[in-house]
A and B are shown apart, each in its own frame.
Chain A
Amino acid sequence: MGHSTCSHTKLTLNFLQSSSWIAGFFLFLITFLVSFTTNIEASSVRPPANAITNALPEKSTSQAKQKTPGGFVPGKTLGNRSQTDLWRVMRRNIKGTVSIPDKKAGVLIQSAGDSWMKFRNNDLYKYSSWTILGMIGTLLLYYLLRGTIRIERGMSNVTIQRFSKFERTGHWLNAGAFIILAITGLNMLYGRYLLKPLLGDELFATIAGTGKYLHDFVAFAFVIGIVWIFIAWVRDNLFSKDDIGWIAKAGGLLSKGSHPPSRKFNFGEKIVFWITILGGVAISITGLALLLPFQIQLLPGELGIHNMQFAQTWHTIIGIIMIVVVLAHIYLGTIGMEGSFQNMKTGQADRNWALEQHSLWLEEVEKSEEKQGTTDARQPAE
């Protein structure tokens, strides 16, 4: 068997060898004829009239819906489609290929950047200013009309435990981080116009640079603070039936002597809580997306620059909303209401303050204290 195969191969080879010149001749003839005939036609370096020399690039999914322009060029001289169309399509985020490692660089033009810039520089700048100034104005007016909300019965000098050390630590961690983030963040938006003319290029850049690093790192303290206060207070901030009465009387904020009953937190405080928690989560996610560029996907589709623009825009919008809400919160926590600041400072609330602001909560606490008092007495000291 082996022998016959061998001789067969040999035979084939022999055949090729003996007739290779014939094959070579035919090959040459065919090549010559083919090249001769094509050469007649393609004597110009120009592509033939029916060749497609100029096609529109394939659109990515987000662009697919947009209609491609027509614009066929008569004459068939240089492709059948106007180059203007090619470049017009190009401006819709079309992605080509690049040989450098950063494949995102394949996008030639992203026109959205200009709109993003204009939105941030004009609209965001303008409406944020009005919102913040509007809130400061409202609070100022409220202070002039209503003044500090006093404890009507006066200080009782009997205090009850309102916030534990755990609650206060979480609150001040969150509040401290928030204030630093808000100031350094606002400096990003307004510093160029408000501070730079006063301080000069160099000093302002140093401050802004330090502010940026503070913002980037204090952010983590803020995230921890958000989780902390959520754990501490979520149960006390679930909405309940008592809130209706509070809303009906506008929290007693508008008239003296009106004290709608509420539990540990009233409806207004619950709103502040939920805006802080939900806003805090959203601002942390968008902030993290800014901190780790092109690593956190917020929008469907390719993780491109629109993701970053989206994150930046919403980060600022949510930031401004939170700042405005917190301004009102700070007002009521300090000069706006007698006795409220010491609650979070010491954890101890004056009994009369509690009676006027959180009567239902006071009842609960005093009841459980009575019970606890008896259980405590029975327990042996450790």
Chain B
Amino acid sequence: MARMKFLCDAERCIECNACVTACKNENEVPWGINRRRVVTINDGKPGERSISVACMHCSDAPCMAVCPVDCFYQTDDGVVLHSKDLCIGCGYCFYACPFGAPQFPQASNFGSRGKMDKCTFCAGGPEDDNSAAEFQKYGRNRLAEGKLPLCAEMCATKALLAGDGDKVADTYRERVVSRGFGSGAWGWGRAYPGQSGGR
């Protein structure tokens, strides 16, 4: 079984934010939430780099460990998903996540949180694949349709890679070899400890 991973090649990302827009549109993400965002380091200075970031679908996910109602599950593909029916909106997953992936719609003007929302690797949730209920809560289930996450599929510079970790690693390794020493990938070592290349 493939182990799904995201990888953003910081040498290629041009901060066009197309992945952010595509994700919002494809999954009809709730107002005020960006499942994916582009962060620019050293903006306007030497060494500027941009990185597109969303849930990294961690191997040993902190969000999963901390959730008081234990509503996360990891699919056979290594995708970290959760049930919005069980979530109580406590916010703990957001405190634990290294990448700031979990987000909350404001449920009342009192500041209380609604059900947590995060990137699903375009893999929906616990409901039946591509059912109306699944789409309404989690967005499109592209994996069930045999497609990869839209953000990566439509990335113009192919900076954002998504898919089978082995293939992603191979693609990236080829790039590193042709580019030479000095090109580092963002987030890989953090989200997939002990898995420097493919598996």
Query: Footprint of B on A, CB under 8 Å?
Result: 51-58, 73, 75, 77-79, 82-84, 86-87, 90-91, 94, 96-102, 104-111, 113-114, 116-117, 120-121, 187-189, 191-192, 196, 201-202, 204-205, 208-209, 212, 216, 290-293, 295, 305, 308-309, 312
Contact = CB atoms under 8 A, between A and B. Distances in A.
B105 interface: no
Interface string B31-50: 01010011111110111010
Interface string B179-190: 111111011011
Contacts of B113: 293
B51 interface: yes
Given A83-B184, A98-B37, A108-B53, A113 B46 contact: no
B154 interface: no
A287 to B, nearest CB: 13
A21 to B, nearest CB: 40
B187 A96 contact: no
A291 B111 contact: yes
Contact of B100 (A99, A105, A209): A105
Contacts of A120: 66, 92
B69 A196 contact: yes
Nearest to A210: B88
21 contacts: A53-B46, A55-B42, A55-B45, A77-B180, A77-B182, A79-B182, A105-B34, A108-B99, A111-B190, A116-B96, A120-B92, A187-B68, A188-B68, A189-B68, A205-B86, A208-B69, A212-B90, A293-B91, A295-B111, A305-B95, A308-B91
Give the top 9 A-B pairs by smallest Cβ distance, nearest first.
Answer: A83-B184, A55-B47, A78-B182, A205-B86, A117-B96, A52-B46, A96-B41, A96-B39, A209-B88
Interface of B: 10, 15, 17, 20, 32, 34, 37-43, 45-47, 49, 51, 53, 62, 65-71, 83, 85-92, 94-100, 111-113, 179-184, 186-187, 189-190
B68 A202 contact: no
A100 B98 contact: no
B72 to A, nearest CB: 11
A41 B120 CA distance: 48
Q: Is the interface of B mostly helix, strand, loop or mixed?
A: loop
A98 B98 contact: no
* Most chain A C-beta atoms within 10 Å of own C-beta, residue among B15, B39, B112: B39
A254 to B, nearest CB: 40
Given A86-B47, A113-B96, A113-B98, A201 B86 contact: yes
B182 A109 contact: no
Given A98-B40, A290-B91, A73 B181 contact: yes
A54 B69 contact: no
Contacts of A79: 47, 182
A225 to B, nearest CB: 20
* Most chain A C-beta atoms within 10 Å of own C-beta, residue among B43, B91, B182, B184: B182
Given A87-B186, A110-B100, A201-B70, 15 more contacts: A53-B46, A55-B46, A73-B182, A77-B181, A83-B184, A98-B37, A107-B100, A108-B41, A113-B96, A117-B92, A196-B70, A208-B68, A209-B69, A292-B111, A305-B100
Given A52-B46, A91-B190, A113 B95 contact: yes
A202 B83 CA distance: 10
A57 B190 contact: no
A212 B37 contact: no
Contacts of B20: 100
B26 to A, nearest CB: 17
Contacts of A78: 179-183
Contacts of B111: 291-293, 295
B40 A308 contact: no
Given A53-B46, A109-B190, A295-B111, A205 B71 contact: yes
Nearest to A215: B90
A121 B68 contact: no
A113 B112 CA distance: 21
Contacts of A312: 92, 95
A100 B180 CA distance: 33
